[in-house]
A and B are shown apart, each in its own frame.
Chain A
Amino acid sequence: DVKVTQSSRYLVKRTGEKVFLECVQDMDHENMFWYRQDPGLGLRLIYFSYDVKMKEKGDIPEGYSVSREKKERFSLILESASTNQTSMYLCASRGQGDTIYFGEGSWLTVV
């Protein structure tokens, strides 16, 4: 089975801190995604990557950046965390097929 692992399940960070959310997939997938999920707003695409070192903005990239130095790892970076970035963050991957595989999510609280 495909496994998408998000390194941190729950994080509490202070406003202005730099935050790294790490995601690793074990199926050699080309495509990886970062979403955030908020009540009533559903999943919103922040960034996605279709290859190593390649990235494309989603709908809400402001305040975020990403890094994909290795195929299996896709990191989401909050350069200066703000309280409106408190959310659940979901990493996902997709290979040649059409199915998207999600991690378990990272709950980030910015205080």
Chain B
Amino acid sequence: SQKIEQNSEALNIQEGKTATLTCNYTNYSPAYLQWYRQDPGRGPVFLLLIRENEKEKRKERLKVTFDTTLKQSLFHITASQPADSATYLCALGAGDNFNKFYFGSGTKLNVKP
């Protein structure tokens, strides 16, 4: 079965530094991968999508890379701010028309002022 792994340990970084989160997957070849942000007690919110033929995608201070050979995606937040503190989830589409979406368990990011 598909397996998506994210570092379960919280990532603690200082304000202004770049945060890098990792998503690894096995037994699957997704057409694309997504990243979501989740704040405590709230539903996840979509941030970025990267397709299998894209190596890198950027949106403001966010950057995502996708290495289909390593079966890995990296999510970077540059010039991090305390407001970036949240849990970040990666997700893969599966099944016919990629209707089934599978999520990693998320990595909690703490940005200290």
Interface residues of A (CB under 8 A from B): 4, 31, 33, 35, 40-43, 45, 48, 50, 56, 58-59, 90, 92, 94, 98-105
Contacts and interface: CB of A to CB of B under 8 A. Distances in A.
Interface in B94-112: 95, 97-106
A69 to B, nearest CB: 20
B105 A58 contact: no
A4 B43 CA distance: 10
Interface residues of B, number: 27
Interface of B: 1, 4, 8, 32, 34, 36, 41-46, 49, 89, 91, 93, 95, 97-106
Contacts of A99: 34, 46, 49
A41 B49 contact: no
Given A40-B8, A42-B89, A42-B106, A100 B99 contact: no
A84 B4 CA distance: 23
